[in-house]
Structure 1
């Protein structure tokens, strides 16, 4: 077999390129380092969701940023992910799979390579956390179909997705047969799929879940896991270290309360901040950030790790996502016990940051407290926190920059193949533009990172996560922080 012959010799840059030649021809605004917010003079409309959040705060007091995110994104009253068109030019943002087919094709090659390295297990399942519109999974399956022996091992597709509307989009994108579709057993539900068969992709069974722990597959099936722009939307908690060295939680309160609003423009220090959080137009919002008067249970539990006290100074802000740690620990344990493999691709840094929480609406940054439910809410992923959560459960390799990963996996060779397949100069220009957007350090190539998760008993680092050389280990890591 072609892949096996490759691995008998030197594993080098051209290995993925050879595989990519067999494929059929066929910026993300989150990543900007300087969000800007428009100022609105009039008081915002109090939508049903905003009224619901306000009523909760009036009844129980200021809520955590995590609770606010959860309500704004997933509430059935009007949460953001209950909406239809949120991706693409007509939506609020564009993800890497929506930019070019090359992205999914390259990732499919990564799974084929490591399926070979792990001895060609006879049964595999694809698992994706946060599948968006289903574009990435569809591209990976189409590319994987070119490797017949590998594709024959795929038993089923498992998608972790809570949004009913996104489930329906994924159902259509994967070419699922309506005759085989089973929907949520709820008379008030508008046809949310829970199970179907993808006729367009080899009659593969497709199943949907709300949570990772709900996935039920045969013990002899090896999971091939993908989490692309999944962790950035998981709820975060925000804290500030006071002059007394105590961590105070930053909460969300109604704008008309007598609590002193947090001035997010002056409290964050550049040493732990990637994005400058300037919330202009706060006078028009129905909500504001405030500092808890007393130590909250969240601050007591989450910030008890001594590392937070030793690494941060008075006045520093930090963002922490316990939900990300919980999911990562479970994912790592699952991959190790099932002898699987996984890739986590998201924007963020390999350290804890302070003020990256923001909204994205119509391809522009927006005040995250403005019009809850009308925009995506995200925060940079702390990859060091994910690695810590997976420790003793699985091996984590990376993160490495997306541009470096895609280049190492042969995206340039795939680009050349696509360019040669057409004489249309406009199509060729679009292909080059998409390639640059995915890989350029000034676009998505640097802020997006890739983390590989492998079983604990695997001895070699996965491609292209080679162990660093002595020179690299001894080279100081210098980051220019801009405000």
Structure 2
């Protein structure tokens, strides 16, 4: 039985499914979930992330980690953590760049958080010869707090789904997934009788509001971890830096947007990162936070243009390709402004690289 058929049967038995529950099933169902069985990254897959655009991205994140370690006082022992390492490219490039700083790699306990079995296998192969041997855990709660933490989470928040609510002429309703007369999945609205906190911003009838409880929980857990251990967590994702309405659910297959209800488990489903909710939760958990800035601004602050020039000088024949990669990472019409960056950190006195006050 397909995942679509199993979801439809469950809906018939228990009632319409929230968008957040549906996305979680599509991504992580043990039998047919996208990340559990068939994640496809890169140009030949379903989607591409910044580390796969150019080595410059991972190298600069590695140098960000080195500078953060230095500003923490170069502790003799610390944890370098990546949440959702993809195919391992970002960490591979970061560790290579980190060789420039004596003592950094020797002090590093490398921890990767990866729920996907297939992706962990790819990461193991990619990092088999890394300067630091990684270890894998399944959640932030498994990270010890007896040493400072430097954490990277690139395109993680968009995998943590949100529920959707719609303002109607008769009040608020939740957008849920139901079943049509056949076996097809459809969107519909279920009236709300209570338990819903109205958003503080203006919403017009028909507009969708997304409530990202899972993202806020992630921010809370990050805040607790960084607050207890000290250090900094860098979050980079596409999403909103201010609260507002909008339906951001999308499904990607072979780099094309497809119907998110058409073939559950066969496409990557995402929703925008809600940076305000994540950062507020981290603050409430006791950590400090930076403001948001565009990915392009962050990478410029970390020196990507200088790095690109050096690569072009060393490989003149590749200069046009490197220039295109640079534009894709920092261009305002590419990833430069849609993708945002923010950091969660402790102690308050720490100046986070790229977010200097």
Equivalences for residues 297-308 of structure 1 within 5 A:
300-301=194-195, 303-304=196-197, 308=199
Per-residue CA shift, 1:200-248, capped at 9, x if unaligned?
A: 223x342222222133x3x43211101100010112100012324x421
Cα distance in 1, alignment partners of residues 124 and 322 from structure 2: 27
Cα deviation, residue 350, structure 1: 1.1
1:421 corresponds in structure 2 to: 314
Equivalences for residues 59-138 of structure 1 within 5 A:
59-84=13-38, 86-138=40-92
Q: Does 1:326 align with 2:254?
A: no
Q: Pick the aligned partner of 1:391 from 280, 283, 286.
A: 283
SS of the aligned residue for 2:292 comes to strand
Cα distance in 2, alignment partners of residues 458 and 114 from structure 1: 14
Equivalences for residues 228-307 of structure 1 within 5 A:
228-244=154-170, 246-256=171-181, 286-295=184-193, 300-301=194-195, 303-304=196-197
Q: Does 1:55 align with 2:17?
A: no
Cα distance in 2, alignment partners of residues 373 and 84 from structure 1: 8
Q: Does 1:464 align with 2:354?
A: yes
SS of the aligned residue for 2:100 comes to coil
Cα distance in 2, alignment partners of residues 363 and 315 from structure 1: 29
SS of the aligned residue for 1:292 comes to strand
SS of the aligned residue for 2:45 comes to coil
Provide closer, same or farther for how the CA distance between residues 68 and 151 of structure 1 changes in structure 2, counting only shifts above 3 A: same
Cα distance in 2, alignment partners of residues 132 and 391 from structure 1: 28
Per-residue CA shift, 1:335-360, capped at 9, x if unaligned?
A: 01101111000001112332111101
Q: Is the 8 A contact 2:81 2:152 kept in 1?
A: yes
Cα deviation, residue 326, structure 1: 0.8
2:152 corresponds in structure 1 to: 226
If the length of structure 2 is used for normalisation, what is the TM-score? 0.94
* Aligned-residue RMSD, C-alpha: 1.7
In structure 1, list runs of 5 or more residues that go unmatched.
Answer: 1-46, 176-199, 258-284, 468-483
1:162 corresponds in structure 2 to: 115
2:342 corresponds in structure 1 to: 451
Q: Is the 8 A contact 2:217 2:278 kept in 1?
A: no
In structure 2, list runs of 5 or more residues that go unmatched.
Answer: none
If the length of structure 1 is used for normalisation, what is the TM-score? 0.71
Q: Pick the aligned partner of 1:213 from 125, 128, 141.
A: 141
Q: After the TM superposition, list the runs of 4 or more consecutive aligned residues in structure 1 that deviate by more than 6 angstroms.
A: none
Cα distance in 1, alignment partners of residues 80 and 68 from structure 2: 14
Cα distance in 2, alignment partners of residues 362 and 48 from structure 1: 21
Equivalences for residues 141-156 of structure 1 within 5 A:
141-154=95-108, 156=109
Cα distance in 2, alignment partners of residues 458 and 150 from structure 1: 23
Cα distance in 2, alignment partners of residues 435 and 70 from structure 1: 33
Per-residue CA shift, 1:30-80, capped at 9, x if unaligned?
A: xxxxxxxxxxxxxxxxx6111110111011011101111011111122111
